[in-house]
Every structure is written in structure tokens, then in C-alpha cells.
């Protein structure tokens, strides 16, 4: 019978790679306003950018910085997955649980609040992160 328990660290590593991909999306591809942004505000992207012509330039830079931080979180998570988490180091479970809650967990929660098109993808990522933690505990 196939068991996923020994793959807990590989699942976390996959989550890290997805985070790096999300960060790259923010840096390279994300438009300054998504349809859900304007919908949440209660207007159109065109009206927002007309009222605030410099907003697009400013938001580009904000998303570059935010993407950089998401890439960094992914890189650090990848390192933790293949070292401390894999080796079951003391404290690894707690820090991975807290990092997951404050990163992908919070990101998924907020994306549900704003009814984002990405909410289910982010929930799936949070579920994968949770699965890695659950399998870590079952491996004892």
C-alpha cells in the first residue's frame, strides 16, 4: 500500500516552489489592477486609473517588492523543507505551521474575502501545506 507519510518534506518543497512561482507572477506578469480589485472597490479599472494616473506606475513597484518577498518566502521554505523539516529538527513543525498560517493561509483567507479569481488555487496551496504538516506528525 502506497503511503504519503515519507513525502511530507517533498510536499512542503512543492509548496515552496509554488510560492516562488506566485512571486515571479507578481514581479513579471501581474497587471496593476485585476478585475476583482475594481469590483471590490466598486468601480472600473479605467475609472480608477483615470482618477489616479500615477497609480499604475506606483502599483508596479509595489508588486515588484511584494513579489520579491514572496519569492524569498518560497526560497526559505524550500530550504527549510529539504533541511530542518526533512531532518525533523526540533522546532521545525512549529515554525512551518506558523509560516504557513501567516503566508499561504492568510493569503487564501483574504482572497476569499475579496472574492478573488485565485481563491481556490490559494486554498489548494494552503491545503497542501497542511497536508505536509499532517504527514510530518503521522511519520512519528
CA of 24: how far to CAs of 29, 85, 89, 93, 130, in Å? 8, 25, 30, 27, 23
- The answer to whether the CB of 11 falls within 8 A of the CB of 126 is no
User: What is the DSSP code string of 9-69?
Assistant: HHHHHHHHHHHHHHHHIIIII--SS-HHHHHHHTS-HHHHHHH-TTHHHHHHHHHHHHHHH
| Residue percentage of the chain with pLDDT more than 90 | 92
- The per-residue pLDDT for range 16-60, each reduced to its tens digit, is 999 999 999 999 999 999 988 999 999 999 999 999 999 999 999
The predicted structure's pLDDT at residue 140: 75
- The per-residue pLDDT for range 71-84, each reduced to its tens digit, is 999 999 999 999 99
* Every domain of the chain and the residues it spans: 5-138
The predicted structure's pLDDT at residue 1: 53
pTM of the predicted model as reported, rounded to 2 decimal places:
0.90
pLDDT confidence band for 2 (50 / 70 / 90): low
- The per-residue pLDDT for range 89-134, each reduced to its tens digit, is 999 999 999 999 999 999 999 999 999 999 999 999 999 999 999 9
How many Å apart are CA 56 and CA 38, to the nearest integer? 13
Q: Is the confidence at residue 3, as pLDDT, over 80?
A: no
Amino acid at each position: 500500500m502506497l503511503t504519503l507519510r515519507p513525502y511530507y518534506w517533498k510536499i512542503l518543497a512543492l509548496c515552496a516552489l509554488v510560492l516562488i512561482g506566485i512571486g515571479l507572477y507578481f514581479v513579471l506578469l501581474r497587471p496593476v489592477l485585476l478585475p476583482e480589485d475594481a469590483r471590490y472597490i466598486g468601480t472600473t479599472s479605467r475609472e480608477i486609473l483615470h482618477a489616479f494616473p500615477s497609480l499604475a506606475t506606483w502599483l508596479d513597484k509595489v508588486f515588484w517588492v511584494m513579489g520579491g518577498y514572496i519569492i524569498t518566502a518560497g526560497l526559505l521554505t524550500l530550504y527549510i523543507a529539504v533541511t530542518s523539516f526533512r531532518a525533523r529538527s526540533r522546532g521545525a513543525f512549529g515554525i512551518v505551521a506558523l509560516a504557513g498560517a501567516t503566508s499561504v493561509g492568510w493569503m487564501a483567507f483574504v482572497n476569499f474575502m475579496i472574492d478573488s479569481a485565485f481563491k481556490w488555487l490559494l486554498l489548494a496551496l494552503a491545503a497542501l501545506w497542511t497536508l505536509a504538516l499532517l504527514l510530518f506528525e503521522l511519520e512519528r
